[in-house]
Amino acid sequence: MHSGRAEAPNKNAVVDLRSDTVTRPTPAMRAAMAAAEVGDDVYGEDPTVNRLQARAAELFQREAALFVPTGCMGNLLAILGWTQRSNEVICEQRAHVNLYELASMSAVAGVMPRTVPAPSGILTWDRIEPLIREKIYYDSQTALVTLENTHNMHGGTVYPTAVAEDICERAHDAGLRVHLDGARIFNAAVALGKSVAEITRKFDSVMFCLSKGLGAPVGSILLGAHEFIKQAHIRRKMLGGGMRQVGILAAAGLIALEASPKRLVLDHENARHLAKGLAALKGIALDPAHVVTNIVIFDVRGTGRTAAQICEQLAGKTVLCSASDKYSVRMVTHCDVDRTGIDAALSAIAQVVADKAPAAAAH
Ligand SMILES: *Cc1c(COP(=O)(O)O)cnc(C)c1O
């Protein structure tokens, strides 16, 4: 359903709202990949990777950038760069670094997540400050704060720039570093009507994904000062992330970076349309005003069914989504789902919730 896609429209096409990672590379990306100028990136000789890194650094007004295979690796490299073993890292309870990265900060970096819940996932300094450990030799020491913008598991919520900057400034005053898990930072920038450079300037490091809403098949970027990126480059190799003629992937990344941000507004409009339609259905609870980017999370308790049951029934109607909690369903809009797809999803959900609850869940 991507504009420029070769396939004919199909009424029974699967509407895949599980994540914005499910997008397929566009014809322009595939053409650029086929034509990419490449070299051995472990020798620093891949011109397309070098171009992507330089362009990302320029867009974010940073000294340097590093292309990494995944967002998880980018976050882990930042944590490795800003901490020592036995340190603590403060993050929101439902942060991706805490829940979905295989505890790599503990297993690989040797640090402890110190988590705190925050409304809508948006931390404020008053929630962070009490968690900072005292400078006593028998206390593990706080080294880093990580923020997530947009916040995935809270429904794509966006940090007001002043709140994020306040955290950065006060953390710096307390001798802490601040890393941004900006997997979807372009969605945040679009929602705020500001540039990515403007909303990230106070962070010590930033990671963003090319492979989410921007639609590239693979890749994320880590940004920071020269010395930080130099160290991350060494550790990327140590983690097995040294890649060779990877300009083939960077070529798609460059197109994602240049072309995709301007169309994210459509994903946000589709998410809002989806949220309004969902809110009108009996048994579904959500506040459409909460939906400001491309993630819609809604409560299905009122249907008498679990999120997993709802997802399974929707899959039977070729609408894919995922359970983000026992009673919460998550749907994510992206460039491979258009308004027709969203309307098809809404009518499938309306049918599912109108059906009688399965006996197993009725009591
Ligand atoms: C997807 C995601 C990541 C990690 O990205 P991968 O490329 O899947 O490793 C990190 N943070 C957030 C908030 C994400 O949504």
Verify whether ligand 1 is closer than 6 Å to residue 336 (CB atom): no
CA dist 38 and 33 (Å) reads 10
Q: What is the mean pLDDT of residues 308-337?
A: 97
Q: Are 218 and 249 in contact (CB under 8 A)?
A: yes
Verify whether ligand 1 is closer than 6 Å to residue 88 (CB atom): no
Q: Per-residue confidence at 3, pLDDT binned at 50, 70, 90? A: very low
pLDDT tens digits, residue range 119-148?
999 999 999 999 999 999 999 999 999 999
SS3 call for 296 = strand
Write the residue with the smallest CA distance to atom 14 of ligand 1. 183
Please state the atom number of ligand 1 nearest to the C-alpha of residue 73: 9
Ligand 1 pocket test, pick from 212, 322, 330 with the greatest ligand atom count within 8 Å of Cβ, gives 212
CA of 101 to the centre of ligand 1 (A): 8
pLDDT of residue 6: 45
Verify whether ligand 1 is closer than 6 Å to residue 250 (CB atom): no
pLDDT of residue 362: 46
Verify whether ligand 1 is closer than 6 Å to residue 152 (CB atom): yes
Architecture of the domain defined by 27-260 = 3-Layer(aba) Sandwich (3.40)
pLDDT tens digits, residue range 80-90?
999 999 999 99
* CB neighbour burial string for 315-348, b if at least 16 within 10 angstroms, e if fewer: eebbbbbebbeebbbbbbbbbbbbeebbebbbeb
Which residues fall within 8 angstroms of residue 312, CB to CB, at 6 or more apart?
Answer: none
Ligand 1 pocket test, pick from 22, 70, 72, 205 with the greatest ligand atom count within 8 Å of Cβ, gives 72
Q: How far is CA 123 from CA 82, 117, 162, 202, in A?
A: 20, 8, 12, 16
Mean pLDDT lowest among 9-13, 237-241, 270-274: 9-13
CA of 96 to the centre of ligand 1 (A): 7
Verify whether ligand 1 is closer than 6 Å to residue 204 (CB atom): no
pLDDT tens digits, residue range 169-206?
999 999 999 999 999 999 999 999 999 999 999 999 99
- Taking alpha carbons only, the member of 351, 343, 363, 361 closest to residue 13 is 343
CA dist 182 and 179 (Å) reads 9
Which residues fall within 8 angstroms of residue 213, CB to CB, at 6 or more apart?
Answer: 20, 184, 186, 187, 260, 264, 267, 294, 334, 335
Q: Are 62 and 224 in contact (CB under 8 A)?
A: yes
Verify whether ligand 1 is closer than 6 Å to residue 91 (CB atom): no
SS3 call for 151 = strand
Assess whether pLDDT exceeds 80 at residue 62. yes
CA of 152 to the centre of ligand 1 (A): 9
Architecture of the domain defined by 15-24+263-354 = Alpha-Beta Complex (3.90)
Per the omega criterion (within 30 degrees of 0), is the bond before 150 cis? yes
From the CB of residue 204, how many other CB atoms can be counted at a distance below 10 Å? 21
pLDDT of residue 12: 64
- DSSP β-bridge partners for residue 328: 299
Q: What is the mean pLDDT of the chain?
A: 95
Report the predicted TM-score, pTM, of the whole model to 2 decimal places: 0.94
Q: Are 362 and 343 in contact (CB under 8 A)?
A: no
Q: What is the mean pLDDT of residues 16-22?
A: 97
Q: Indicate the burial class of 240 (C-beta count within 10 angstroms; 0-12, 13-18, 19 or more).
A: exposed
Assess whether pLDDT exceeds 60 at residue 221. yes
pLDDT of residue 5: 45
Assess whether pLDDT exceeds 60 at residue 7. no
Write the residue with the smallest CA distance to atom 10 of ligand 1. 71
Q: What is the mean pLDDT of residues 221-242?
A: 98
Strands 205-209 and 220-224, sheet pairing:
antiparallel
CA atoms within 13 A on the CB side of 50: 11
Q: What is the mean pLDDT of residues 320-343?
A: 97
The domains of the chain are located at 15-24+263-354, 27-260
Assess whether pLDDT exceeds 80 at residue 358. no
Task: Tokens for 126, please give them.
Answer: 């008053």
pLDDT of residue 355: 85
Write the residue with the smallest CA distance to atom 3 of ligand 1. 71
pLDDT of residue 363: 44
CA of 183 to the centre of ligand 1 (A): 6
SS3 call for 149 = coil
pLDDT of residue 4: 43
Percent of the chain with pLDDT over 90: 94
Verify whether ligand 1 is closer than 6 Å to residue 77 (CB atom): no
pLDDT of residue 1: 41
pLDDT tens digits, residue range 30-45?
999 999 999 999 999 9
